[in-house]
Amino acid sequence: MKYPKLYSGCLVALSALASLGCRATAPREPEFSAEIRRTSFGIPHVLARDEAGIGYGIGYAYAQDNLCQFADVVVTVNSQRSRYFGPDVLGGPDFESGFSKATNAESDFLLSWVNSEEHVRQAWQAQSATSKALIRGYAAGFNRYLKDTPAQKLPAACRDKPWLRPLTELDLIRFMRRLAVEAGSALFSKSIIAARPPGTASAASTASLDKELSLPDFTPYFGSNAVALGKQGTQDGKPLLLGNPHYPWYGSLRFYQMHLTIPGKLDVMGVSIGGIPAVTIGFNQHVAWTHTVNTSAHFVIYALQLDPNDPTHYLVDGKRHAMERKTVSIATLESDGKVGRRSHDFWMTQYGPVLTSPGDLAWNRTTAYALHDANFDNHRMIETWYAMNRAGSLDELTGALQSHLGIPWVNTLGVDSKGEALYANVTVVPNLSAQQQQDCITEPHRALTKRRMFVLESKAACALGDAPGAPQKGVFSGDQLPVLRRADFVQNSNDSSWMTNPEQPLTGYAPIISAQDLQLGDRTRQGIGQVQARLAGTDGLPGKRFTAETLQAVAFSNRSFYGSLLDRDLSAICENARSVVLDGRDTDVAVPCATIKSWDRHANLDSVGYPLAGAWIDQLIRRSDLWSVPFSANDPVNTPRGIKQNEPRVREIVLVELARAAAKLREQGIDATRPWGELQGIEANGRRIPIPGGVGSGIYNNIWSEVRDGRFHVRGGSSYIQMVTFDEKGPKVQGLLAYSQSTDPSSPHFADQAPYFSANKLVSQPFTTEQIKLDPNYTTTVIEE
């Protein structure tokens, strides 16, 4: 795509002005003005004089690359999916999000409540003047592109569609509110929609939805890896940051690369989620940072003691309170092509909406359950990220996190040019003390805390605390949350703060913030193990400490953690194995064992046997009775390990699970003897691009896929990878957006970075003006109005 140079107003040559008889009057200062300089892979470098111009440039550039993608998001956050796509359709643009199991009608109902006119207006009024300027500019830039582009040149996906329209500032507020509740209300979308007073016909209908309404695992389905090395962790004494968020490759949570500059005030590059007018993960002249999804709980649930005579009234310390029935209505495109309307009743309490989950948290005659989402009133995301964009040191970065407290549900890891590394779990967390957890969670609900769900009694003593200095009620203040700075390293791969660096465990925090003494995830164990081995010089590579090359090898490590850890035991169990009884039938395991024997313990493009090994091992590690060395909180990085290969019962279980995994792959039409690169990939305009990495058996380069037609079609995982260090001149950056900039198949930037990801390669990122102008694909566009 060639990006035209655009001007508005009377911007023509002076000779032309003279011939037209224009009077030499001073031009009126434009409200919005930006220069968009594009470099290779379509990365926009936006230069403006103020925040309104920055937003204007971002909005215009993003519309050029992702017009239909964001127009679809706007339909979602305005609760209009049912109107345009039908009410009973599953999936939508947020297939990989907390809304993934909701129909369009259920999504529309929930977002009608989340984004009610009252809530959206309050959120807009809460924005600072700076944030409002960024938002206004973004909407104006998006609309400028839409206005200037002839209908026939718009992308096919939304050309002539009735749902493509100009953007408003409040559309962006609606999207930010939808993003904020991702780790709270969105997880419970179906359970909130299903809540009905017991005894009604509609309540009875939820009895058949047990599986759909089962409580979600709190740990999100997507995550991240991050390693921040201080000056003591690198060979040249310079800091080094690896950021690799594992996010969806489709839908509203896709990243977009950009560079924002206001001379003398702002110079920051990285990525953002479309619709956010600030860099969310990136670097500037002195600081680099990334995010990882954290395990803090961002909601609590209250168990309501009900009035025995009326299940829509509840008691708090003996005082009777009425639930409020809040009715929302949506437009629907019905099967006959006509537009109808459907309505839904939410049952609201002083804590939040009532939800139901049969068997776990069912609304019955004695008890109901209400969700309190701490991020529901978090209107500070843009302000926080923009302050981080301008930070000149880790002190300023930490200060931005703690004072604004607007990061909703991700850790922050970073480095600065002075050589320190930072970990900060500074997010919006309900202020529930450890003592309150002990006193307010009754025995039937204690088991749910292991799933990061805190179900409290509804009494005054269990009310969330107000912390001095916190910008909203009921949450911990920034200085009460885990922060660690070190000169060697910090890391996180979606475990709690506890083992950020094993030399300095983070302990003593309320369990709702950070759990400790729990088994670590495979990527955390693998990441810590690789970092410790490199620093000790025991990984077989020359020297000690890291270079950019050795850290990049960690980023693209496709080694199976459990495949390597259990190699000897599983090989021994497979030795001479012939058959087992599976579901009452004698089933061969000799062929699956031969496939496992040929597997190289990786998920590289040429690895053979990985889908079988991944499915098999994932079933084994869920069982605690197979480990020869169980988990120990005194040695969390190295335990559990080993399989009890000498016990006949264990050998039988292991081989049965292998036979089961092989049978499932056959049912799916998957030939596990084919190289992984032939099985997993993406399709781009008729071209297939193989994608390495995986999710089964503990792969650090995390990629998750959907199985169709005997292949694995990538849905998400490693997305924006950045490797940042600093020298005397500023940042030196290698990076990549795995799925590329544009969602428009006709764009040259639809999948132009994917082959680099396929080959485990990163690309130098131009940051200085000189680097930008020397880029072989440099273009510039000036827009104003």
The catalytic site residues sit at: 224
Q: How many C-beta neighbours within 10 Å does residue 224 have?
A: 27
Please name the residues in contact with 775: beta carbons below 8 A apart, sequence gap of 6 or more: 39, 40, 766
- Residue pair 254/95 in contact (Cβ under 8 Å)? The answer is no
| Cis amide prior to 675 (ω within 30 degrees) | no
In one-letter notation, the amino acid at residue 727 is: D
Helix (H) or strand (E) holding 302: strand 299-307
Question: How far is Cα 332 from Cα 326, in angstroms, rounded to an integer?
Answer: 19
Q: Which of 466, 475, 457 is nearest to 374 (CA)?
A: 475
The residues near 728 (Cβ < 8 Å, ≥ 6 apart) are: none
How many of the other CB atoms lie within 10 Å of CB of 426? 29
The string over 275-304, giving b where at least 16 C-beta atoms fall within 10 Å of a residue's C-beta and e elsewhere, is bbbbbbbbbbebbbbbbbbbbbbbbbbbbb
Determine the Cα–Cα distance for residues 739 and 751; give it in Å rounded to an integer.
Answer: 6
What is the token pair recorded at 392?
């000149």
Give yes or no for a contact between 757 and 738, defined as CB atoms under 8 angstroms apart.
yes
327 touches 343 (CB < 8 A): yes
Residue 235, token pair as written in the block: 């060979």
Residue with tokens 């230069």: 47
Distance from first CA to last CA of the chain, Å, rounded?
23
Give the integer Cα–Cα distance in Å for 360 and 213.
10
Query: What phi and psi, each to the nearest 5 degrees, are found at residue 125?
Result: -65, -25
Residues 464/389, Cβ–Cβ less than 8 Å = no
In 3D space, the residue among 245, 252, 259, 246 whose CA is nearest the CA of residue 291 turns out to be: 245
Rounded distance, CA 484 to CA 423, Å?
5
DSSP three-state, residue 300: strand
Asked whether 230 and 419 are in contact (CB, 8 A), the reply is yes
Instruction: Give the Å distances, CA to CA, from 135 to 76, 77, 177, 199, 382.
Output: 19, 16, 14, 47, 9
Task: Measure the CA–CA gap between 426 and 423, rounded to whole angstroms.
Answer: 9
Angstrom distance (rounded) from CA 196 to CA 209: 13
State how far the alpha carbon of 634 is from the alpha carbons of 450, 518, 621, 629, in Å.
19, 11, 20, 13
Q: Which of 80, 67, 51 is nearest to 166 (CA)?
A: 67
Q: Are the C-beta atoms of residues 330 and 79 closer than 8 Å to each other?
A: yes
Q: What is the DSSP letter of 158?
A: T
Close Cβ partners of 43 (under 8 Å, ≥ 6 residues apart):
257, 258, 259, 741, 765, 766
Q: Which residues of 202-219 are buried (b: 16+ CB within 10 A; e: fewer)?
A: ebeebeeeeeebebbebe
Q: At what angle do helices 129-148 and 51-77 cross, to 10 degrees?
A: 70
Q: Report helix, strand and coil shares of the chain as percent, to nearest 5.
A: 35, 25, 40
